[in-house]
Amino acid sequence: MTAADPLSTALAELDALRDAGLSALELASTPERVEAARVEFLGQKNGRVKSAQERIKTLDPSARKAYGQRFNAVKGDLESAFEAARLRVERKTDDRGRIDVTLPGVRPRLGHRHPLTQTAEELIDLFGRIGFEVARGPEVEDVRHNFDALNIPPSHPARDPLDNFYLAVGERTSGEGPIGGDVPMLRSQTSTVQIRVMEAQKPPVRVIAIGRVYRPDTVDATHSFMFHQVEGLMVDRGVTMADLKSVLRLFARAYLGRDVTIRFRPSFFPFTEPSVEVDMLWHGGHRWVEMGGAGMVDPNVLRAVGYDPEEVTGFAFGLGIERLCMRRHAIDDIRLLYQNDVRFLRQF
Ligand code: PHE
């Protein structure tokens, strides 16, 4: 690495300017001190923000966009902090120290639920209306529930140690054979809950399970090593693919809008047969967006939990919750959902 380039230095100084300004404004306890901080930072003539603005001219044209964007953000933050400080110290008493009860009050900002929590709650509500109960399973699972019972054979690539968070396995050498059923792991899919529910109760079954799943993916705008899924499972006499499609269509329209169309694309999952991938299209949209996987529960899975595939059939689906939430609110980067930046969260 060479010495920091002029742009990074300039950006770091903008950040430092923001920190200095925010703490000056936050610490100012009287109208006079707030005004002094305003002049120092936001003053039109020699304010520090003004100087920072002028600095852009000294930068290489290719660096100006990045600098300008950060500058605008810093300036905006300082202006809101000034406004907040001004309101905070504003005199609320008359000359004789009496409180003017006619002044508008300071409204405390109330917190609210995270957009993902809101999505999960809405899912529970929507599916609840068509008879689906909520089931739960552990995030620390075992290989049996995550793979074996879901008809995923020992040699299946989905079991690769590089694609899963196995726990307590230690170093493995090749040729050691498959990882045993009782080995703990962070679940990679909520389909584990299908097994837990069917092991615990007899049909009919109509449940959804919402929760975190873990996969060692590299984090980017659309991937994270942890995300949430909603799993659905319905098993009864005479359940068909048409039921699956109706339920998903009903849900898609209720959650995303009446003008949403869904389609099924043939796919493969070891625990469903036939299997499909579910896409959604917004009326007037040009692109199908993949929402998750689904299918008819494979007879092998039914048999493994002691159900009789001659008697009952079922469907299952698994959808990504982040994706639903992002579609609904036009959020374009999954990382925003995990950073807990209140400026982002306040919008929902
Ligand atoms: N578990 C699958 C996945 O995570 C999705 C799925 C669920 C597919 C249920 C079929 C049935 O990719």
pLDDT in tens, 144-168: 999 999 999 999 999 999 999 999 7
The closest-lying atom of ligand 1 relative to the alpha carbon of residue 317 is 9
Q: Which atom of ligand 1 is nearest to the CA of 194?
A: 9
| pLDDT at residue 96, rounded to an integer | 72
pLDDT above 70 as % of the chain: 95
- Is the pLDDT reported for residue 256 higher than 70? yes
Q: Residue 285: which pLDDT band, with cuts at 50, 70 and 90?
A: confident
In 3D space, the residue among 233, 202, 249, 242 whose CA is nearest the CA of residue 298 turns out to be 233
* Rounded distance between C-alpha atoms, residue 294 and residue 318, angstroms: 6
d(CA 309, CA 224): 37
Give me ligand 1 centre to Cα 270, in Å: 9
Of all protein residues, the one whose alpha carbon is nearest to atom 7 of ligand 1 is 318
Residue 244, ligand 1, Cβ within 6 A: no
CA of 179 to the centre of ligand 1 (A): 21
Q: Which residue has the higher pLDDT, 19 or 181?
A: 19
Class of domain 115-345 as given by CATH: alpha beta
Per-residue pLDDT tens over the stretch 268-282: 999 999 999 999 887
For residue 286, the model assigns a pLDDT of 77
Q: Is 318 in the pocket of ligand 1 (CB under 6 A)?
A: yes
Mean pLDDT of 3-16: 89
Q: What is the pLDDT of residue 65?
A: 94
Confidence of residue 52 (pLDDT cuts 50, 70, 90): very high
pLDDT band at residue 91 using 50, 70 and 90 as cut-offs: low
* Averaged pLDDT for residues 59-79: 95
Cα–Cα nearest to 269, from 142, 147, 165: 147
Each as own residue / partner, the long-range contacts of residues 330-335 (CB below 8 Å, 24 or more positions apart, any chain) are 331/115, 332/221, 333/221, 334/221, 334/222, 334/223, 334/224, 334/227, 335/219, 335/221, 335/224
Interacting residues of 15 by C-beta distance below 8 A, sequence separation 6+: 70, 74
Spell out the domain ranges in the chain: 5-97, 115-345
In degrees rounded to 5, what are phi and psi of residue 289? -115, 130
How many A from CA of 250 to the centre of ligand 1?
A: 19
- Strands 184-186 and 260-269, by their bridges, are unpaired
CA 249 / ligand 1 centre spacing (Å): 17
Average pLDDT over residues 67-73: 95
Q: What is the pTM of this model?
A: 0.71
Of 165, 146, 147, 144, give the one whose Cα is nearest residue 156: 147
pLDDT above 90 as % of the chain: 74
The pLDDT confidence band at residue 1, using thresholds 50, 70 and 90, is very low
Q: How many whole angstroms from 230 Cα to the centroid of ligand 1?
A: 10
pLDDT number for residue 168: 74
Model pLDDT for residues 127-145, shown as the tens digit of each residue: 999 999 999 999 999 999 9
Tell how far the Cα of 187 is from the centroid of ligand 1, in angstroms: 12
Atom index in ligand 1 nearest the CA of residue 319 equals 5
pLDDT tier at 259, thresholds 50, 70, 90: confident
Q: For the segment 312-342, what is each residue's pLDDT rounded down to a tens digit?
A: 999 999 999 999 999 889 899 999 999 999 9
Closest CA to 198 of 248, 169, 233, 244: 233
- With a 6 A CB cut-off, is 194 part of the ligand 1 pocket? no
pLDDT value at residue 302:
97
pLDDT beyond 70 at 92? no
